[in-house]
Structure formats: structure tokens, C-alpha cells
Amino acid sequence: MAFRALRVLQPKQIFRQAKSFTPSNSVNVPKGYLSVYVGESQKKRFLVLISFLNQPSFQDLLRISEEEFGFEHPTGGLIIPCSEAFFVNLISKLIR
């Protein structure tokens, strides 16, 4: 029986990786990640681990998104309606 060691990414590594993607290649989301758009006025794209979908705090953000946008997001991607600072803080806590 073999086990694969998982590498823990720091918040800056995850967000740095997200910044390397542009809208022209937005289809290229690495396996195990989800692309979301965050921000109040200007939306910024982030890649988050799919495992965060199990976290209650992230599920709360998804419920808020559903209440505000339903399933019709204007950008074609999932929009999280909160400030970037709040989102980065939440993701940082989920990584620990």
C-alpha cells in the first residue's frame, strides 16, 4: 500500500498560482481547484482547493452567492460577493 505525500500550500502560493491565469485561458484550472471571482466592485479571480467546499464557512459564502445571483452569474464563473480582504482572511484560516 503506497501513500502519496500531500504538499501543503501557503495562502500566498495559492493566490500567486491564481494570478498566473488570465481570462483567455480560464479553462485551465488545475485538478483539485475551483475558480471563483471575488470582490465588491472589481472582481478578481482566485483558485481555491476543492476540499474547501466541505468547510462550513466556505459553504456560507456559497449560500450568499446563491441568494444574490442564483445560478446565473454575469461573468460565467462563480462569484463570491464579499471583499477581497475578507476572502483572503477566510481562506488563510481554512489552510491552517
Question: CA torsion 11→12→15→21, rounded to 10°?
Answer: -140
Quote the pLDDT of residue 75. Answer: 66
Calpha distance 85→87 (Å, rounded): 5
Please list the residues that pair with 93 across neighbouring strands.
none
Quote the pLDDT of residue 50. Answer: 92
Q: Is the dihedral of CA 22, 23, 25, 26 positive or negative?
A: positive
Calpha distance 87→79 (Å, rounded): 12
Quote the pLDDT of residue 2. Answer: 45
**pLDDT mean for each 10 residues of the chain (96 residues):** 44 49 59 88 89 92 87 75 91 86
Quote the pLDDT of residue 58. Answer: 92
